Amino acid sequence: MITAFVSDIHSNLEALRAVLADIETRRADRIACLGDVINYGPDPVKCLRIVRKMDLCLVGNHEEGVLYEPIGFNPHAVEAAKWTRSVLEPRFLSDGSKWANWEFIRTLPAKHEEDGLLLVHASPRDPTSEYLLPSDGELIMGEVPDKLAQCLDLVERACFVGHTHIPGVFTPSGGYASPGELGGEFRLGPGEKAIINVGSVGQPRDHDVRASYATYDGEVVRFYRVEYDAHTTCAKVKAIKGLPDRGGTRLLKGE
């Protein structure tokens, strides 16, 4: 079975559609979303309607920030969360689709486990909030740092995450490696374990403007990048009062 993992869509409809079209060519059996469907971008409603049809979706910190309070968010993210909430939160006379979207994000699980796999938005230690950055995988005297070691201890075989918007693989022996360093794929051998970040569909931050996602067939993780019309998304953001321009302009630089 081939699973396609997407994460951090951030209301970017153009990127989501492009990624789904690419996934179709990979003949994936199912699609799992690792959270942060919403915030920053201009199309939260349309993105939620699409993601609701996926096989699995987890809650991210931006769903939590929109539902409750955007604690720990920078000022741009707070402003975007307020706008996103104003668009999504149903009122007494709201139609059924608005209530359905709100109920969907309200009931998203924080993690999913199956056959040695752990799926979370952020990290095994903190499913929605902890950042596991490439720098956390820098070996110290040939040893993995405590933060990464503790996260790996909670993984039976493989853990798939998003949150940082930077794709890559963390292992006990190699620390962190980017998809480029891995040649675009990573084979998980018998008895090995890894934490795999699938990157971001809607807001990449590794200086590559293309949308990112990954697939896993039980042995090999493959990373993909997909071109999309980021200028259209950027223009939409600029046209919306209440959405900071930063949520669009950064798409043009992948930062």
DSSP character string of 159-190: EEE-SSS--EEEETTTEEE-TTTTTTEEE--T
Q: Do 16 and 58 form a contact (C-beta atoms < 8 A)?
A: no
User: How many domains are there within the chain?
Assistant: 1
Domain that holds residue 96: 3-252
Summarised one tens digit per residue, pLDDT across range 228-244 is 999 999 999 999 999 99
The string over 196-214, giving b where at least 16 C-beta atoms fall within 10 Å of a residue's C-beta and e elsewhere, is bbbbbbbbbbbebbbbbbb
Give residue 159's pLDDT: 98
The confidence band for 50, taking pLDDT boundaries of 50, 70 and 90, is very high
Share of the chain above pLDDT 90, in %: 89
| Helix H or strand E encompassing 214 | strand 211-216
Question: Taking 90 as the threshold, does the pLDDT of residue 187 lie above it?
Answer: yes
173 pLDDT exceeds 90?
Answer: no
Structure tokens at 72: 């720990």
CATH of the domain at 205: 3.60.21.10
pTM of the model: 0.96
Predicted pLDDT at 91: 85
